[in-house]
Structure 1
């Protein structure tokens, strides 16, 4: 049985999405999983789906030590990184993982560059600095290891923030475990809807949503300079995990493994939200000029998240392939995976919350 190394795999978002997709595969065990983490801690969701560590083992590593990483990867066939270090070490961690994967003889590696497509990541200064030079380094080792970049556009799960009560009721650990076991690693309610995505969107109502907040029936949507609605690719977190799990079976990876849940216009997104809310939303449109000013204000105040949201929305305003919307590469290679549409997502979780 082959082994997947998943750097940062204890995360409640992408790590959980990939691990649960592999552990719940309908045709039984196919991949073992070695989760690289800064500690041996096994989160509740992992204990719920693999209580005896039969499929997924957590290996404590020092991400800043190539030797530590190499030892952890000795039995690993494919290494995927979902790390999200916020201490300035994210870029170096990807370079160290690459070196360790080559030394350990891994066949495949995907650095942590999730989000916009490759050129889109380079166009956003807040993401460029953490990915700059990583892919070029990967190409230097193309005769020794197959590398790719997984991208998925924006997370559909931001639409779930604000649907459920805030704060969520506190529960004892035993009760949380029961709910997580029942849901295959996801507890019914906000956890199942948001799938580990933090409440960090920039909606003015503080819901944590991005673009649309169903909590207070408001929206802030980017518009192209010609007044038309730009396109956006939205993908549900669990669908990303499912696509990645299926891609492990592919005989060859493309250099860019872009994943698409659904690509639609901002206007179509608004129509779906208004249909499920059964009312018109209070909509604010923002242009590239508005967002350029907002970016400058964020830079002067040192507000990283405000800068990130402004730059992402500027990318949508440009309405370019690989930025706001993506080509469905993995969808084409793995047609058996049927991703969730925006309409399906909103109907499913809004109905649960009503």
Structure 2
């Protein structure tokens, strides 16, 4: 069976989404590259005896060490989901690429999850993760097949708005049993939010973004002409399913976008009100207000600047930026991603 190496694969978000999907839908084994060999509880719950995975402790700063690890496990494909906030993210992707080439891997995907290719050029707060990465990929395309995977915005921020206050953590055997029965996900908040951090800027401090179903509020960008802009949403688990399906494709394209659902902000609001039966309190976000806020926000306030720039990108309403081309949907028609309306209905019904 072929081996996928997943850099950062112990993460409870994209790492978990891809590992669980690969186990469920493919015959591939997984080599997880991590700074620690300690398996997270969700991984122990689904592969207790490590029959389909190995964890290798690696130094992301050493190309030679990375290459030795990849070559020793005869890795076919290397996918990165690392998210280093210490300034090393871009160099880590470059090191992983060079190691994959040195080890004779056939395919590589850097950690550039999110907006389409124009987003990395236009959204200033994303550039920290892209410094030289795409140029390095272009330099190696004759040696290894390379794709950038983009999914737009994570649908799971809606889940934070449903589970507006964090649930109590389960521990020990109780937690293990819940992860085991849910194929790596606990019912409730974990199943809805899928490891996504509560980082959204919604005023109720739930960590949600755009809509908060529990509290019936919305903060939505609007275009200069008063029309609603579009947004592409994809759930974390559907990203995992698309990547699992992509492993068996005969060829990868350079840009491998995927879309769970592309809709307008107005349609997002209408679904939220229909599912909850509430009339939402809506705050409209306009370009000029955002530009003024951005000018008065310190560079050190990274998350605040990020959300402002995201909303400006939504207002631009451009293909290949906030609206992602569904390339993987077309190449992998067996993957049926959840829509925003279905996501809301599924998790709203199960919320406390």
Q: TM above 0.5, one fold?
A: yes
- Matching residue within 303, 321, 332 for 1:334: 332
1:251-330 equivalent positions in 2, closer than 5 A: 251-299=250-298, 302-330=300-328
Task: Determine the C-alpha separation between the residues in 2 that align with 1:167 and 1:139.
Answer: 43
In structure 2, the partner of 1:10 is 10
**2:126 match:** 127
Q: Distance in 2 between matches of 1:37 and 1:307?
A: 29
Matched, 1:53 2:75: no
- Cα shift readout 1:31-84 (whole Å, capped 9, x = no counterpart): 010000011010011001100111111100000111111111111100000000
- Aligned residue for 1:353? 351
**Residue pair 1:8, 1:82 contacting (<8 A) in 2 also:** yes
CA contact (8 A) 1:122 1:132 kept: no
Q: 1:237-291 CA deviation, whole Å, 9 max, x = no partner?
A: 0000000100000000111000100000000000000011101100001111111
Q: CA deviation at 1:298?
A: 2.1
Tell me what 1:136 maps to: 135
| Structure 2: distance between partners of 1:323 and 1:295 | 20
Could you tell me how far 1:226 is from its partner in structure 2?
Answer: 0.9
Question: Residue 299 of structure 1: SS of its match in structure 2?
Answer: coil
Q: CA contact under 8 A between 1:78 and 1:109: conserved in structure 2?
A: yes
1:283 partner SS: strand
Q: Where does residue 19 of structure 1 map in the other structure?
A: 19
Deviation, structure 1 residue 165: 6.0
1:313 Cα deviation after fit: 0.7
Corresponding position: 1:44 with 2:41: yes
Whether 1:65 aligns to 2:62 is yes
Unaligned runs of at least 5 residues, structure 1: none
Please tell me whether the aligned partners of residues 234 and 342 of structure 1 are also in contact (alpha carbons under 8 angstroms): yes
SS of the residue corresponding to residue 162 of structure 2 reads coil
Gaps of 5+ in 2: none
Structure 2: distance between partners of 1:325 and 1:171: 37
Residue 194 of structure 2 corresponds to residue 192 of structure 1? no
For the residue of structure 2 that corresponds to 1:57, the secondary structure is strand
Name the CA distance, whole Å, in 2 between partners of 1:62 and 1:135: 22
* SS at structure 2 position matched to 1:76: coil
Separation in 2, partners of 1:172, 1:158: 25
Structure 2 SS opposite 1:178: helix
| C-alpha contact (below 8 Å) 2:31/2:54 kept by paired residues | yes
Q: Please, which of 11, 33, 46 is the counterpart of residue 30 of structure 2?
A: 33
SS state at 1:100 partner:
helix
**Distance in 2 between residues matched to 1:274 and 1:331, nearest whole Å:** 28
C-alpha distance in structure 2 between counterparts of 1:14 and 1:86, whole Å: 16
The Cα shift of 1:24 comes to 1.4
- Structure 2: how far apart are the matches of 1:170 and 1:246? 32
How many residues align? The count is 350
Give me the TM-score of the superposition, normalised by structure 2.
Answer: 0.98
Q: Secondary structure at the match of 1:264?
A: strand
- Aligned partners of 2:285, 2:24: CA distance in 1, in Å? 42
> Structure 2 CA distance, aligned partners of 1:214 and 1:334?
32
Whole-Å separation in 2 of the counterparts to 1:244 and 1:167: 29
